[in-house]
Structure formats: structure tokens, C-alpha cells
Amino acid sequence: MSMSHLYGRRDEEEEGVEVESFEVTEWDLANEFNPDRRRHRQTKEQATYGIWADRDSDDDERPSFGGKRSKDYSAPVNFVSAGLRKTAAEEKQQQKGEGGSDDSDDDAPAKKIGGNFRGNQSQRFAGGIQSGQGIGSWEKHTKGIGQKLLQKMGYQPGKGLGKNAQGIVNPIEAKVRKGKGAVGAYGNERTQQSLQDFPVVDSDEEEEKEFQKELGQWRKDPTGSAGKKKPKYSYRTADELKAKGKVAGQSTAASAGELAQVKVIDMTGREQKVYYSYSQMSNKHSVPDEGPPSMSTRDQKGSGFALPELEHNLQLLIDLTEQDILQSARRLQHEKDVVVSLSHESRALQTRLDSEQDAIQRMEAVLALVERFPSGETAPGEGPTLQECARIFETLQTDYYEEYKTIGLADLAVAVIHPLLKEKLCSWDPLKDSSSCLEDIGQWRAILESRDLHSSGPDSNMDPYHRLLWEVWIPVMRTCVSGWQPRMVGPMVDCVEVWAPLLPLWILDHMLEQLILPRLQREVDNWNPLTDTVPIHSWVHPWLPLLQTRLEPLYPPIRSKLSNALQRWHPSDTSARLILQPWKDVFTPGAWEAFMVKNIIPKLALCLEELVINPHQQQMEPFHWVMDWEGMLSPSSLVSLLDKNFFTKWLQVLCSWLSNSPNYEEITKWYLGWKSMFSDVLLAQPLIKEKFNEALDIMNRAVSSGMGGYMQPGARENIAYLTQTERRKDFQYEAMQERRDAESVAHRGISAGVPTNFKDLIQTKAEENNIVFMPLVAKRHEGKQLYTFGRIIIYIDRGVVFVQGEKTWVPTSLQSLIDMAK
């Protein structure tokens, strides 16, 4: 079956292009205005094949795919005459011209029938009105507004339109567009009549000429010239073929080897075509083909030179050649890519080779430096010195740092430096010259010590510098400490202080704990406070900045030996105070207080009990012996001692003196003299203040009651003045003390805040004196919360502190509470 049955065709002589007809034709119009016309009966072949059946020659058939040619819009448009009638000669000439315009003998009857049909239709549409007759008769059905308007513009009935009543000279010509594109898609569409009536220079004429020139490569001249056109050939070079093959290869997902073996049959054109790759099919319109031959050319080919097998073979050879060219181009490109890849790999290998060569040269230089170190075969005294070895290590670290770290050249110090340092330190005495070799060790610390390793003991991962000290320096110090006398403390302390900045922390701790402290413990065990003339604190206390809390194991033996030495001591011997005074700040407050209560306070109490208070001949030495211990004893202990052993006898003597006609002036001096024996710290104690106030009250009662008989004039006034003066001093001292407390609180910082109640004040005082103050859980007394203040149990009621006694709760002052807690 011919492919021309699938598509409608236009006049092949004029256009030579097969198009599909969808416009409204004369058949459609006749069918609409004459619905009762005889319809064509469908044949059996049409019922079987449908639109692919052979076309019938009946002109009344509905145009379909392969039907009648489309309407010729290039013919002049027929209008109804407006009053001018053509002569018979003109009509005959027009019909002759229309008959001569038909190109094909087969289509002549159809055109004649179509022309007659159009003429009949024109007469039918015009209502049977002849040219120039009955024009405007349709206005009998209207009000005649059209006729009136025409007459106003100069129209005369029975004549034609126009200035000279000439009517239409030439009908408006229409130009058929060559395809289905938009307006202007096929160049200039102006007709010859338009160019004559409107002679305007068109800027698109040149584009039209170029378009027609390009169009002529694949179709006939659109002017319809019947002359034979010479075929044009298009040539492609191998480079163009390679370039188009690359573009086709980029748009295809499959590989070229697979696509080259695919056979494609193209049935979308007028003829069946066979392609041997998808890229060939996609490029079928990339090169313009020769225009369709005319009817005469096809006839000549069909009759003279029709060799489709030869054309097919030639085309096949061309396609295979193209495929070979493309395959060769692809292989060439692949080889070029391989060359580029190999060149990159070659450069990378060359770079690596250069770096390896440089590394080899650096390793050779490092080896040359390392070979300069002394070895086992080197004779003594021939190898490099410590300074030269240090310079070699510095060169390795600065110039060959990467190799120094990678290979671990720092470990060479164990084999190279240790023998040299041991040889130098073998004759060193740390107690005589502690700073010897200090610069050498400091130099090797800067070279060997690693900032990354933090050794904490002698293990395999020890830093090279730490290993140097552990294996070279520590043995020398161990030998020195083993022969050292702990009572010659100065040289050893100086040696440790000088070397401490260069020693790692764990080595320093090892030396203090394992070497020096055991020597001190053995010496303390051998110490006898009764026979040794050198005080123990003179050779123990210098180690406090270095050993600190490590010395605490020495304190219990020292206190025990001092306690044994004080069993036969009398307060008149001041050497005990000189021996014990340096230990007051060394022992803990609790241990010191317990030591004083056990060994000193009983001796002082016996001394006060033996004291005889005689206003006329007073022996003050025992009292001075006791008061010399004021700085050694806590205020609370000393106050308790004076309360029990001094003030009782002192008040009894005062009462006895007042009852025997005393001289109040002497009593006043006696009172002031005893009070001057007490320091301000003791006088600030509430109990001491209370005892002296009690003495004033006794004197006031004696004066006011006249006890003792005769009384000197002015004695009462003197006693009253003395009482008032003492009370004023006490008030001023309390005010000054409160001001000092407020200033100390403000000095610690305002952020701490001022206590708002008595409990907060107790809390502040406890924090100042490092005393634990906290409530007892679920413990109350008469509804009041119980608290622990150190080891004392208290409760607070209306601003008064009550302390738990043996049988009852006793109110006390805040200062007394602090003293008891300490």
C-alpha cells in the first residue's frame, strides 16, 4: 500500500508536499445546505481498511485522508457584483482562464463541477439577484437606513460604487500559506496586487529571498516554475561527522557498541527507510536532502534509471563507513584520555619519587649525625662531650624534626647521654655543691622533655628526660640521703629547693617520701627532749614548706616525748614554753588544746592555788608564771583557769579587807593594779569582766552600807567615780569591738550580706572560725530547734544562746560559745 493513502496531498505540481486537510470545503457547505442529498454508500473495502482503503474518484465523497486536494486560496475571491456586469467576452475569457489553470487532467472534472457548484451556491447565497438589478431591494423589510446613508455619501441607485461609479475593478487577491505555521513563518505573504497598490519597500524581502534560497535545497521553487531544477548535493567531512557523532553520543544513554547493531525501520515519511543506529536516525534531518523530484523527473527515473538495490547498497556502505569513522574517532579519543591519565599518574609518581629521594637524603644526613655519637667500640675520652651531644640533638630537632619524631631519636639519650652524665655525677656531692651539674640537666630538659607525655611513675612509657633523672640523678641522691644526718638540715633543704624546678612532680614526691621522710622518722624516734640540746623544731620545721602534711606522722611521737618530759616540769621553768611555742601553729588546734589541757593547765592551776594574795606584801612571781602562757593557751582555757583558781581567793581577800576599816584609796589602787595585770583580750572576756564588776559592786555596797565602821571623807564619791569610769571603759571597748566586727564584715564583701537576725550572726561567726553550725534533724527542746555548734548542742530563744550543760540549759555569750567550740 502506498504511503500517500495515509496523508492527503495538495497539488503535486504546485507544491509537491503531502499535508493533511482539515479546512471547511465546498462539500461541507453543500452537505449543510442540502441535507437530503444522496449519500455515498460505503464499500466493503472501505469497511475493511477504513482510511487506508483505495480512494474512490467520486467527487461527492467526503474529503478524508487521501481525499480531494485542499481548496486553492490563491485564486481570486468572487464577490457579488454591486451593479456592474461583465460582458460575455470577459466572462468567457475568465472561464477559459480558470479552465487553463488546471494542471492535471484527472482533476479537471472535479474543478468544473466545483466551479459550477460554487456558481450555483453564489447565486443561491445572493438570493437570485443579478448584477446591477434589484440592488438594495432587501431594504423593503427595513426602515431604509442603509440606503439613506449611501445616498448621503453620493451613491446613486442603479450605478456602481466609487467616485466614478466604476465598482470593484479587481477583486482582492488572497495568498495561500505554504504550511500550517503561524503568520510570517514562511516569509513575506504580500500579493502582487498589494505590491502594485501599495508600493512600499519591504524590509523582509531580503529575508524572503534567503529563505527561498534555503528552501530550494529540498523542495521546488514556490513560484511554481515548471522548469527542471538541478539537484544539489551536500558533502560532509570526517571532522564534521566526528563532531555530529559526539553530539549524538552525548544524547544517547546506551553504549555506542550496542546502538551500532540496532536496526531501525522508519515509516514516518513517504517511503520506508532503514537505519542501522539510533544516532543515524536522530541525524536524518541534520543535512538537507535533495528536493522532491517533479512528476517528469519521477517518470524519467521510473522509466530510465530506477535501481533501488544499488541505492540501498550505496547507502549501506556510506552508513558503515560513517560508523567506522565514528568508532575510530572514539578509540582515538579513548587513547588520548588514557594518555592524559597516564601523564597525570606519571607526574604523581615523579612527585612521590622526588619526595622519597628527598627523604632518603634527609635520612642519610640524620644517619651521619647519629654516627657521631659514641658507641660501644669508642674508646673512653674519644667520643663527643655532653655539649657536643647537646648540639647534635638540637640540630636533629630543628633541621630534622619529622625524622626525629618518627624514628624516636630521643630514645638515643638512654644509650648516649646516660653514660656521660653518670661519669660526670659520680664525683658530685649534693650537700657540698648543690648547684653543680644544674645547668647540664637543665639543658637536657629543654632537649628531651616531651610536652605530650605525662609520666607518673617509672614505667616503660617514661619520658626520655624523666628516665634520665630516674636512672642517673636519683641514684646519686639516694646515696647522698643514706649518709645524711637529719639534724644538718640546711644543705639538704637547699639542695632540694635548688633542684625542685627541674624535677618532675612524681620524682620530687618520690625523693621526699621515700628518701628524706624515713630518715626524719628514724631521727625523731631517737630524739630525747631531756638530753638533746638542739631543739627538735630547728631541724624539723625547715621541711614544712616541702613536706607540708607529709610530716603529720611525726607529730604524735613528738607530742608523746614532750608530754613525758613535762611530767616533772614546774611553771617557773621557762624553757618549756620556748620549746612548745614553735609547735603551736604546726599542731592542729584540737591537738594543741588537748596537749595544753593535759600537760600545762594542771601545772598552772597548782601554781595559782599556791599563790598567796596579800595586799600588804604580795608575791607576784607565780601569777606572772601563769600569765606568761596567755599566748599559748586559748582564751577560754585561761579564763576558766583564772575563774577557778584566782578570782575566788581574790574576792575573798577584798571582802575581808573591806570589813576591817580599810583605806578606800589603797583598795582602789589595789583593784586597779590587779586589773592592769590582765591584757585587753582577757578583759574583753565576759567572765573576767563580770568578776571585776563584781568587785566594784562589793566596794559600792561596802561604801553605801558603812560596813567596817569609820569611812574616810570622799570615799563614797571615789568608789562611785571608779565604778562609773570602769563601766564607761567597758562600754567604749564593746562599741569599738562591734565597729571592728562591722568593718571586717564589710571588708569581706557586701555580697556576703549583713546578718538580719541572731541566727544569721551565729552562722557568720561559725564561718569565720571554721566551725560547723547546722540544725539537728527532728531534735527540739520546748519547741525550739536544736543546733550543733562544733561539738556543742545549742538552741536559740529570743536572741539568747542556750548551751546544754550537765543538768540544765545555760545561757552564754557568743564569744564564750566560740571559745567552747574551739
Sign of the torsion angle spanned by Cα atoms 639, 643, 647, 649 = negative
Predicted confidence band of residue 229 (pLDDT cuts 50, 70, 90)? low
- Give yes or no: residues 406 and 463 share one domain: yes
* pLDDT tens track for 671-692: 888 888 888 888 888 888 888 8
Q: Considering only CA atoms, which of 443, 328, 339 is closest in space to residue 386?
A: 443
377-389 in b/e burial notation, b at 16+ Cβ within 10 A? eeeeeebbebeeb
Residue with cell 597525570: 344
State the average pLDDT over residues 63-89.
51
- Give yes or no: residues 415 and 497 share one domain: yes
The three cell numbers of residue 153 are 455619501
Residue 162 counted as domain residue = no
Predicted confidence band of residue 755 (pLDDT cuts 50, 70, 90)? low
Please state, in angstroms and rounded to a whole number, the distance separating the CA atoms of residues 214 and 443: 94
Sheet holding 784-789, edge to edge: 773-781, 784-789, 792-797, 800-804, 809-812
Residue 544 counted as domain residue = no
- Give yes or no: residues 398 and 368 share one domain: no
- Give yes or no: residues 432 and 316 share one domain: no
pLDDT given for residue 296 in this prediction:
44
Residue 81 counted as domain residue = no
State the average pLDDT over residues 233-237.
75
What's the chain's length in residues? 822
Residue 3 has pLDDT above 50, yes or no: no
Predicted confidence band of residue 342 (pLDDT cuts 50, 70, 90)? very high
Q: Write down which residue in 337, 372, 407 finishes a domain.
A: 372
pLDDT given for residue 682 in this prediction:
87
Q: Write down which residue in 509, 526, 543 finishes a domain.
A: 526
- Give yes or no: residues 451 and 317 share one domain: no
Does residue 474 contact residue 507 with C-beta atoms inside 8 Å? yes
The three cell numbers of residue 258 are 550496542
Domain containing 355 equals: 312-372
- Give yes or no: residues 421 and 359 share one domain: no
Give the number of domains in the chain: 3
- Find the helix packing angle between 635-645 and 601-609, rounded to 10°: 30
Task: Name the region of 798 (left: φ>0; alpha: ψ -120 to 50; beta: rest).
Answer: left
Residue 354 counted as domain residue = yes
- Whole-number mean pLDDT of the chain? 74
Predicted confidence band of residue 777 (pLDDT cuts 50, 70, 90)? confident
Predicted confidence band of residue 341 (pLDDT cuts 50, 70, 90)? very high
Residue 282 counted as domain residue = no
State the average pLDDT over residues 171-199.
75
Please state, in angstroms and rounded to a whole number, the distance separating the CA atoms of residues 819 and 793: 14
Predicted confidence band of residue 253 (pLDDT cuts 50, 70, 90)? very low
- Give yes or no: residues 384 and 522 share one domain: yes
State the average pLDDT over residues 765-792.
84
Predicted confidence band of residue 548 (pLDDT cuts 50, 70, 90)? confident
Helix (H, G, I), strand (E, B) or coil at 291: coil
- Give yes or no: residues 485 and 429 share one domain: yes
Residue 703 counted as domain residue = no
Residue 263 counted as domain residue = no
pLDDT given for residue 195 in this prediction:
75
- Give yes or no: residues 364 and 400 share one domain: no
Q: Considering only CA atoms, which of 204, 193, 141, 199 is closest in space to residue 169?
A: 193
Q: How far is CA 733 from the centre of its chain?
A: 65
Residue 258 has pLDDT above 70, yes or no: no
pTM of the model: 0.49
Give the CA distances from residue 259 to residues 61, 314, 617, in Å, rounded to whole numbers and listed in that order. Answer: 47, 21, 141
State the average pLDDT over residues 576-584.
88
- Give yes or no: residues 318 and 437 share one domain: no
- Give yes or no: residues 519 and 481 share one domain: yes
Residue 522 counted as domain residue = yes
State the average pLDDT over residues 560-576.
88
Give the CA angle between residues 24, 168, 147 to the nearest 5°. 95
pLDDT above 70: percentage of residues in the chain? 67
State the average pLDDT over residues 617-636.
88
State the average pLDDT over residues 150-155.
79
Q: Write down which residue in 502, 526, 550 finishes a domain.
A: 526
Residue 10 has pLDDT above 60, yes or no: no
- Give yes or no: residues 430 and 346 share one domain: no
Please state, in angstroms and rounded to a whole number, the distance separating the CA atoms of residues 368 and 377: 17
